Amino acid sequence: MATYRGMIFDIDGTLVDSNDAHARAWVRAFADEGIEVPFEQVRPLIGMGGDQLVPRVTGTGKGDPRYQALSDGWKRHFQEEELPNLRGQPGARALLKALQARGLRLIAGTSADEALVADLLKIAGVEDLLTEHTTASDVEASKPEPDIVRAAVTKLGLAPAEVLMVGDTPFDVESARGAGVDTVALRCGGDSRFEGAVAVYDSPQDWLDQLAASPVA
């Protein structure tokens, strides 16, 4: 079994119960621009950044003015209508403290917008534990591309084989694989498409309960 020295934590779905909220915000943003997209079409794409999700749904890329309108609309709907009602995932803070106690270095690696990270970390109750992060704002392309994970590995100053990604969507697994990083997946984000993950748990609390027999044992 690999010896891990650092960990990259996704935020949405992994540490905060926010994936449905993001999907609702995107549906409203599309509707604002006259694009009717059902929740069921958007929800399986959550975990990608907007630079990946919007072209997948509409064919509109970053260079198109409509892309910016959709991205701004999503952020507005999410911040104003969804963010105040979000809750952290069970066991998030206790898990991170237990991992730090084992000497592991922690960093956040998320497809979320830079402007949302501080609020999301506060909701999870881990803002003092995850003081470094890489976001979609830092890189050319978000998950499932490997850019965010690679940037986080570089910030940790470790080799990819020494780092473990913790996420809740197949895009986390794919992104990490592209960067040469193993993944632990959590089902609490509402997904189960985790082919290639080294371990799967229900939630941060479930992993904490089994920490002694887990990949970081």
**pLDDT tens profile 143-192:** 999 999 999 999 999 999 999 999 999 999 999 999 999 999 999 999 99
Together in a domain, 78 and 97: no
Per-residue pLDDT tens digits for 59-69: 998 889 999 99
106/173 Cα distance (integer angstroms): 18
Nearest to 207 by CA among 23, 15, 37: 15
Together in a domain, 154 and 69: no
C-beta separation of 194 from 172 below 8 A: no
C-beta separation of 104 from 166 below 8 A: no
C-beta separation of 17 from 87 below 8 A: yes
Together in a domain, 114 and 11: yes
> pLDDT at position 76, please?
97
CA 28 to each of CA 68, 100, 111: distance values in angstroms, whole numbers, following the listed order:
15, 39, 19
Together in a domain, 133 and 167: yes
Residues above pLDDT 70, as percent of the chain: 100
187/185 Cα distance (integer angstroms): 7
Tell whether the model's pLDDT for residue 216 goes beyond 70.
yes
CA 217 to each of CA 127, 202, 212: distance values in angstroms, whole numbers, following the listed order:
25, 18, 5
Residues in Cβ contact with 108 at an 8 Å cutoff, skipping those fewer than 6 apart: 8, 9, 10, 11, 117, 121, 130, 132, 133, 134, 135, 152
Nearest to 30 by CA among 48, 53, 13: 53
Q: Report H helices in the chain.
A: 19-32, 39-42, 50-58, 65-77, 92-101, 114-124, 147-156, 170-178, 204-209
Residues above pLDDT 90, as percent of the chain: 90
CATH of the domain at 159: 3.40.50.1000
Together in a domain, 49 and 104: no
Tell whether the model's pLDDT for residue 128 goes beyond 90.
yes
At which of 84, 104, 125 does a domain end? 84
> pLDDT at position 11, please?
97
State which residues form the domain around 202.
6-17+87-213
Chain center to CA of 182: 15
Together in a domain, 37 and 80: yes
At which of 60, 84, 108 does a domain end? 84
Together in a domain, 70 and 120: no
Q: How confident is the model at residue 1 (pLDDT cuts 50, 70, 90)?
A: low
Together in a domain, 80 and 130: no
Together in a domain, 160 and 189: yes
131/89 Cα distance (integer angstroms): 19
User: Would 61 be classed as within a structural domain?
Assistant: yes
DSSP string, 140-169: SS-TTSSHHHHHHHHHHT--GGGEEEEESS
> pLDDT at position 58, please?
95
Six-digit token pair at 160?
């990819």
Tell whether the model's pLDDT for residue 2 goes beyond 80.
no
Per-residue pLDDT tens digits for 27-72: 999 999 999 999 999 999 999 999 999 999 999 988 899 999 999 9
- 0.75 surpassed by pTM: yes
> pLDDT at position 112, please?
83
Mean pLDDT of the chain: 96
Together in a domain, 141 and 42: no
Together in a domain, 175 and 92: yes
User: Would 1 be classed as within a structural domain?
Assistant: no
CATH of the domain at 63: 1.10.150
User: Would 173 be classed as within a structural domain?
Assistant: yes
**DSSP-based three-state secondary structure for 72:** helix
Domain count, the chain: 2
Together in a domain, 52 and 114: no
At which of 43, 58, 84 does a domain end? 84
